[in-house]
Amino acid sequence: MKASDLFVRSLEQEGVEYIFGIPGEENLDFLESLRKSKIKLILTRHEQAAGFMAATYGRLTGKVGVCLSTLGPGVTNFVTAGAYAQLGAMPILMISGQKPIKQSKQGQFQIIDVVEMMKPLTKFTKQIVHGNNIPVLVHEAMRIAREERPGAVHLELPEDIAEEECDSQPYERESVRRPNADKQTINKACNMIQQAKMPLLLIGAGANRNRTSEALKKLIDKTRLYFFNTQMGKGVVDEKLPTFLGTAALSSGDYLHCAIDRADLIINVGHDVIEKPPFFMSPEGVKVIHVNYFSAEVDEVYFPQLSVVGDIANSIDRIANKIDAYKNWDHAYFQRVKDEVELHVKTGSGDNRFPIIPQHLVNEIRKAMPGDGIIALDNGVYKIWFARNYKAYQPNTVLLDNALATMGAGLPSAMGAKIIHPDRKVMAICGDGGFMMNSQELETAVRLKMNLVVTILRDDAYGMIKWKQAGRGFQDFGLDYGNPDFVEYAKSYGASGHRVKSSDQLPTLLKECLDASGVHLIEVPVDYSENEKVLTDEILESKICIL
Ligand SMILES: Cc1ncc(C[n+]2csc(CCOP(=O)(O)OP(=O)(O)O)c2C)c(N)n1
Ligand SMILES: [Mg+2]
């Protein structure tokens, strides 16, 4: 069989459904093999966007998202997406082409050492030097990408290898089950939870996997434990539940941290060091049970007393079976914090000022989105507002990146989500800065006939940095820009463009766009003047920590 056919057959064998990317002439054999395959090619307008889409596919399905690029400039465009997947624990395989390796008459034209470049960004990177190695390398790359902690892998397929004849066969994918924690450790964890006075449950990024959600819901239903989550743990458990305390959107000092400071035990499920720590440990402070696929990476602020290592869903399920709502638990203070959090989340949500304030926008978008609707956020100051104020009801309905925290991923990740869930409502939420970093993908979305809403918060600035600049006491400098006319810009792609002209118009417009077919871009002029007041001053003034 021809090597490129063998490569595509190996991917089919692994269950690959889509390949996102941009081929170059070095991928032409691969492309021809793909043409004959049932794997669909999603052609994008930038490799970075293809990588973000593949990563989102990995994030939402647990299967490996695959993306394709040419050598040199194509694959250097994968760097940010590779880092996004690697830090965010999203399984992806990046495939890139290369000039012939056995004989080349082109000198160093477009050639960089791609495998070397990929090393710090991936779990595995290899150049394929013989067609017969393809089945084993594809199998290994996929296994490594999927295995906890999931991440990025890369294979380079040089032009001359792609066209050679080989005689090996694709592998059958084996079935693997993760190991479970031992009985003694589960018993120890249950004893610690039973003996605690003010236990809290924390749901982190690693808990955002299939089956974990159910186990955690069972634990909370049975014990009424108060819980909070990190930004990437949003939605694992329904945030409407009465014992949900909120999302740790700020590193410290938020209302929620008052509860954390009082807790004597934190059951930390799926802790991932790539998110800023949602709390700090100290020698005499809170005790921690670390529940994860692997033991804790210990540092000065994180040194759990017990690690429950094994499949998270299994560990939580077994803990839930063994423990109850105990009489010695004192939840009164957590309830007071909960009341305070709810009060502040509501403040401003009905404020009809124009330009629109973030609290109001978050509230209207929550009202407009169905329970299983997905919002995909880019990176800007609004991410904090959404993390704090937008309640996620189902797993993976708030796609935000609190790992690499890159700008430019909002639109591509929304598109990736839409490809996986064509029947669900999907909205990209971007700043004017982040949107413009991958706005060319509007063409891809229109070409793929997606029903998609793209909301752009327009402040004509890199607002997040402006806020931090003011917070440091620096003068306003170097962060303002102009924007295209977003309505006309959308139209030029064959999408529909809308501009919010008053607060009252917002709910109807959101609803209309979500119900309509096609790609709808909504420009929302936003007023960020409340950032400092709500995210800093009011929290400092609150008495809840000392009550
Ligand atoms: C690729 C990338 N470049 C720069 C940054 C640093 N950064 C974080 S937020 C931000 C401003 C975002 O501006 P915008 O998208 O308009 O959102 P806003 O905060 O104005 O709502 C910048 C420059 C980043 N996170 N990612
Ligand atoms: Mg902006």
Give the distance, in angstroms, between the CA of residue 68 and the centroid of all CA atoms in the same chain. Answer: 21
Q: Once rounded to an integer, what is the mean pLDDT over residues 25-53?
A: 98
- Residue with the nearest Cα to atom 4 of ligand 1? 407
Say yes or no to pLDDT of 468 above 80. yes
What does the pLDDT read at residue 136? 96
What does the pLDDT read at residue 66? 98
User: Could you tell me the distance, in angstroms and rounded to a whole number, from the CA of residue 361 to the centre of ligand 2?
Assistant: 15
Say yes or no to pLDDT of 250 above 80. no
What does the pLDDT read at residue 177? 86
Which residues are within 8 A (CB) of 425 and not within 5 positions of it... i.e. 6 or more apart? 369, 370, 372, 373, 374, 453, 514
What does the pLDDT read at residue 277? 79
Say yes or no to pLDDT of 448 above 80. yes
- Of residues 529 and 2, more confidence is placed in 2
Ramachandran bin of 268, using left for φ above 0, alpha for ψ from -120 to 50, beta for the remaining angles: beta
Span of 77-86, 88-97, 327-336, 530-539 with lowest mean pLDDT = 530-539
User: Could you tell me the distance, in angstroms and rounded to a whole number, from the CA of residue 499 to the centre of ligand 1?
Assistant: 22
And the tokens for 12?
């089919």
Segment 80-132, tens digit of pLDDT: 999 999 999 999 999 999 999 987 777 777 889 999 999 999 999 999 999 99
CA separation for the pair 503, 493 (Å, rounded): 27
What does the pLDDT read at residue 524? 98
Segment 268-315, tens digit of pLDDT: 999 988 887 788 888 888 999 999 999 998 888 899 999 999 999 999
- Residue with the nearest Cα to atom 25 of ligand 1? 406
User: Could you tell me the distance, in angstroms and rounded to a whole number, from the CA of residue 466 to the centre of ligand 1?
Assistant: 10
Q: Which of 377, 379, 436, 454 to probe ligand 1 with, by most ligand atoms within 8 A of CB?
A: 379
- Residue with the nearest Cα to atom 11 of ligand 1? 462
pLDDT band, residue 249 (cuts 50/70/90)? confident
Segment 108-118, tens digit of pLDDT: 778 899 999 99
Average pLDDT, the chain: 94
Q: Which ligand is nearest to the CA of 433?
A: 1
Direct distance between the N- and C-terminal alpha carbons of the chain, in angstroms, rounded to an integer: 73
Atom of ligand 1 nearest to the CA of 379: 9
Q: Which ligand is nearest to the CA of 459?
A: 2
User: Could you tell me the distance, in angstroms and rounded to a whole number, from the CA of residue 358 to the centre of ligand 2?
Assistant: 12
What does the pLDDT read at residue 111? 84
Which of these, 465, 428, 415, 532, lies nearest to 42 by C-alpha position? Answer: 415
User: Could you tell me the distance, in angstroms and rounded to a whole number, from the CA of residue 134 to the centre of ligand 2?
Assistant: 45
- With a Cβ cut-off of 6 Å, ligand 1 is lined by 378-382, 405-408, 431-434, 457, 459, 461-465
User: Could you tell me the distance, in angstroms and rounded to a whole number, from the CA of residue 530 to the centre of ligand 2?
Assistant: 15
What does the pLDDT read at residue 46? 98
